[in-house]
Chain A
Amino acid sequence: MSDEIVPVASGFVARHRGRTHPAAIGPDSDEVVLFSEEELDGFEAASGYWRRTVDRSELEWLVLVRTVGAFGGEPCVVLDEDDDGLHIAYTGHSGMKAEALGYWMVDHGAYEVVVPREEVFSIRVERLPVG
């Protein structure tokens, strides 16, 4: 148990012109869409937020942030946190093992479950640099 760590859902974060933004990669590998809750120069208004597509080379850095842990001795990634606990996804290679641990197949090949937070061990937030 690691109460001091706040799990975060998987997502990209980008540094652009001195600001840090939630981001998405695509449609091309070279393109990144930056999001902002306030109006910024060069950003276009969407419903409730602003967005701007830039070339990846314009970024100071780009990281994939995700929260990983272990459930039942097997690796998992945290998708969400709500009142019921942690929504986790199995990241191993055995569907049978996942089912034995109580996961169920929410999508073909994707095993997920919501479990009490104290049952997920070794929680850590990874920041994986994207080259």
Chain B
Amino acid sequence: MQKVVPPRLLVPYLSGKRTVISGYVYRVQDCVRLTTPRALFLGLDLSFEGSELSAHVPELYLMRWYARDVDTYAVPYGPHMGGDWSDAPPFAGNGFTTSREHVVPQFHTTPMPIPAGAEIVHVSGAGERPFAAYDGLTWRPSS
């Protein structure tokens, strides 16, 4: 699974102050074509009000982790799909993000402890590189 880390949360995560993953999350295999900050921004609906990101952001940080059997990921279906989810735009409510260019299934989690083995990777136009790894308690720089 993966999620873009909002810039304002990067330091709280790395310092250990923030210990949960929450909100919309995605399967890594559904995002393989989202290889640039621009593609991630557009493909994962990160233009919501209050977002610090834009389509021109030069770099992003992604958190990645393996889904475990204890996790519960909900598909946020809106009323037109028989569900009761709603959210500020952009929000499709059909189980996917709003992108017409990329078909990206969307999931949601209530706050869950960050799994041991989670990673943060740095993504720029030059590609991605490992940035930090989580042992279940502390983030350490990736070597």
Contact = CB atoms under 8 A, between A and B. Distances in A.
B30 to A, nearest CB: 16
Interface residues of A, number: 40
Nearest to B25: A109
B138 A46 contact: yes
B50 A104 contact: yes
A123 interface: no
Contacts of B8: 106
Interface in A97-122: 99, 104-110, 112
Given A25-B68, A25-B115, A95 B136 contact: no
A108 B111 contact: no
Contacts of A93: 76, 83-86
A108 B24 contact: yes
Interface residues of B, number: 44
Contact of A107 (B6, B68, B91): B6
B88 A24 contact: no
Given A93-B76, A108-B48, A108-B51, A29 B68 contact: yes
A77 to B, nearest CB: 6
A77 B110 contact: yes
Instruction: Rank and list the top 4 A-B pairs by shortest CB-CB distance, nearest first.
Output: A24-B136, A27-B117, A109-B23, A110-B23
A112 B86 CA distance: 16
B112 interface: yes
Contact of A26 (B48, B65, B86): B65
Contacts of B104: none
A88 to B, nearest CB: 10
A24 B110 contact: no
Contacts of A9: 19
A23 B137 CA distance: 9
Contact of B136 (A26, A64, A96): A26
Contacts of A47: 138
A51 B137 contact: yes
A130 to B, nearest CB: 5
Interface string B54-85: 00000000000110111000001000000111
Contact of B116 (A24, A49, A95, A108): A24
A16 to B, nearest CB: 14
A71 interface: no
Interface string A22-61: 1111111101110100000000001101010100000000
Given A24-B116, A24-B135, A109-B22, 4 more contacts: A26-B118, A33-B116, A105-B23, A106-B8
